[in-house]
């Protein structure tokens, strides 16, 4: 059930009203993973095999706490303990580090682990595999793993261009918008009417709640601001939702990304934030909006 708009927090200044979406920013899964990393860093240095998640702020904070940096595909590290990031790794990458006798702390988010398992189930059924998501995104690369011939597509046009297959299995990058997922599935079904299209929904439940509360927020806002690192696909998904609703929207990483002059005409601003945006990033933008 969607969280009602009445749960939205409201802040006011003489010039404007700022409403926070009832669900925004980090899910509990991401908070737990981040807190686990912080606890591990308090016990000594370790090596991150990539940014913890797609937000430069998280990487900078981990560095300041003593984290060193490595890469998933390079099985050598300056510390004996290595960390698989929130977005996961392929089975082959995990095995490389195990074979090299490193201690592995795996912070893959549970929702992404479920997508890995779902992809394996479809692969075992022998169907043509489709992953709706952003090619090159770390999460997509990890989910696709070593599954044979996975087609990673991010638009309905790309779905319509896929060659015919008698049986197609499709899952979703956990953080894409529900609108994007739906249009890709509809395009596949429309293009190949004689093909069986099996859809296994791997969208994040929290991402869907963020979307719904953004829809609620849109009814009371002149402008929607999405706070997210440019690399965070969940932020882009919220922006897509706002634009799908026909509402004025901006996606920003910090307040400085805005032109203050363009805010002068907006008295009711709605705030949401992506999966990897921290609470203090949200609070800082809110405070600066009220003080402008």
pLDDT tens profile 164-177 = 999 999 999 999 99
Say how far apart CA 69 and CA 4 lie, in whole Å: 42
The answer to whether residues 27 and 204 touch, using CB atoms and an 8 Å cutoff, is yes
At residue 4, the pLDDT reads 43
Say how far apart CA 199 and CA 140 lie, in whole Å: 17
User: Using alpha carbons only, what angle is made at residue 124 by residues 101 and 95, rounded to the nearest 5 degrees?
Assistant: 5
pLDDT at 21 over 70: yes
Domains and their CATH numbers in the chain: 5-26+205-291 (3.40.1010.20), 28-108 (3.40.50.11270), 111-199 (3.40.1010.20)
At residue 273, the pLDDT reads 97
Say how far apart CA 68 and CA 64 lie, in whole Å: 10
What is the value of pTM for the model shown?
Answer: 0.91
Say how far apart CA 201 and CA 204 lie, in whole Å: 9
pLDDT at 240 over 60: yes
Confidence of residue 6 (pLDDT cuts 50, 70, 90): very low
Confidence of residue 85 (pLDDT cuts 50, 70, 90): very high
At residue 9, the pLDDT reads 78
Mean pLDDT of 188-204: 91
The answer to whether residues 216 and 241 touch, using CB atoms and an 8 Å cutoff, is no
Say how far apart CA 272 and CA 226 lie, in whole Å: 5
From the list 276, 199, 211, the residue with the least C-alpha distance to 240 is: 211
At residue 259, the pLDDT reads 85
Strand-pair category, 81-84 with 47-48: parallel
């Amino acid at each position: 059930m969607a969280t009602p708009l009445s749960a939205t927090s409201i802040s006011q200044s003489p010039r404007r009203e700022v409403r926070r979406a009832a669900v925004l920013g980090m899910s509990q899964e991401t908070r737990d993973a981040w807190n686990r990393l912080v606890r591990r860093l308090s016990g000594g240095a370790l090596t991150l095999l990539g940014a913890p998640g797609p937000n430069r702020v998280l990487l900078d904070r981990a560095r300041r706490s003593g984290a060193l940096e490595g890469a998933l595909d390079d099985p050598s590290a300056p510390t004996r303990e290595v960390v698989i990031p929130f977005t996961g790794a392929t089975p082959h990458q995990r095995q490389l580090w195990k074979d090299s006798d490193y201690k592995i702390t795996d912070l893959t988010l549970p929702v992404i682990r479920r997508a890995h398992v779902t992809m394996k189930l479809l692969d075992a059924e022998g169907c043509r595999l489709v992953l709706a998501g952003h090619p090159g995104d770390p999460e997509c690369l990890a989910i696709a793993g070593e599954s044979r011939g996975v087609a990673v597509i991010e638009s309905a046009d790309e779905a319509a261009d896929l060659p015919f297959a008698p049986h197609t299995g499709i899952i979703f990058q956990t953080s894409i918008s529900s609108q994007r997922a739906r249009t890709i599935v509809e395009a596949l079904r429309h293009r190949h009417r004689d093909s069986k299209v099996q859809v296994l929904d791997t969208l994040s439940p929290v991402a869907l709640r963020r979307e719904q509360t953004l829809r609620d927020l849109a009814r009371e806002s002149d402008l929607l601001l999405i706070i997210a690192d440019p690399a965070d696909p969940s932020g882009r998904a919220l922006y897509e939702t706002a634009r799908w609703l026909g509402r004025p929207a901006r996606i920003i990483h910090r307040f400085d990304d805005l032109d203050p002059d363009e805010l002068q005409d907006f008295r009711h601003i709605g705030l949401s934030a992506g999966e990897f945006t921290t609470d203090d990033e949200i609070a800082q933008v809110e405070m600066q909006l009220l003080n402008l």
